[in-house]
Amino acid sequence: EIVLTQSPATLSLSPGERATFSCRASQSISSSLGWYQQKPGQAPRLLIYDASSRATGVPARFSGSGFGRDFTLTITSLEPEDFAVYYCQQRSTWPLTFGGGTKMEIK
């Protein structure tokens, strides 16, 4: 099973700042990684797939990068609605797995 390790566990930032989330895979997964956003009481929302492709309707301030084992989700100029938990997910190998999540809170 591929283990995805997300860091940091918590990110404290202010609106307008830049956010950077990290996801490291236990083995190479090429570019087979997605990112999701989840707000309290809501279902997850797909933001990024194949490491760097934005899902339909996702604002341009969200971008993804990485290949192999190390991946990054970046949000430029945070909006108030961006404060949420972010998860990475790999689809390279069964079983599909998610990272433990990074919670971004308002500083």
Partner 1 sequence: EVQLLQSGGGLVQPGGSLRLSCAASGFSFSSYAMTWVRQAPGKGLQWVSIINDSGRRAYYEDSVKGRFTISRDNSNNMLYLQMNSVRVEDTAVYFCAKDITAASPDYYFDSWGQGTLVTVSS
Give the Cα separation of 93 and 83 in Å (integer): 30
Which residues within the stretch 5-34 sit at the binding site for partner 1 (CB under 8 A)?
34
State how far the Cα of 107 lies from the Cα of 101, in Å rounded to an integer: 18
At its nearest, how many Å lie between partner 1 and the CB of residue 84?
13
Distance CA 29, CA 31 (A): 6
Position 54 contacts partner 1 (CB under 8 A): no
- Judged by beta carbon, residue 67 or residue 98, the one nearer partner 1 is 98
Single out the residue of 13, 22, 31, 46 in contact with partner 1 (rule: CB under 8 A). Answer: 46
**Residue 25's closest CA among 8, 4, 52?**
4
Which of 50, 79 has the CB closer to partner 1?
A: 50
67 binds partner 1 (CB under 8 A): no
Listing from the earlier edge strand, what are the strands of the sheet with 70-75? 4-7, 19-25, 70-75, 62-67
CB of 15 to partner 1, least distance (A): 25
Which CB atom, from 50 or from 105, has the smaller least distance to partner 1? 50
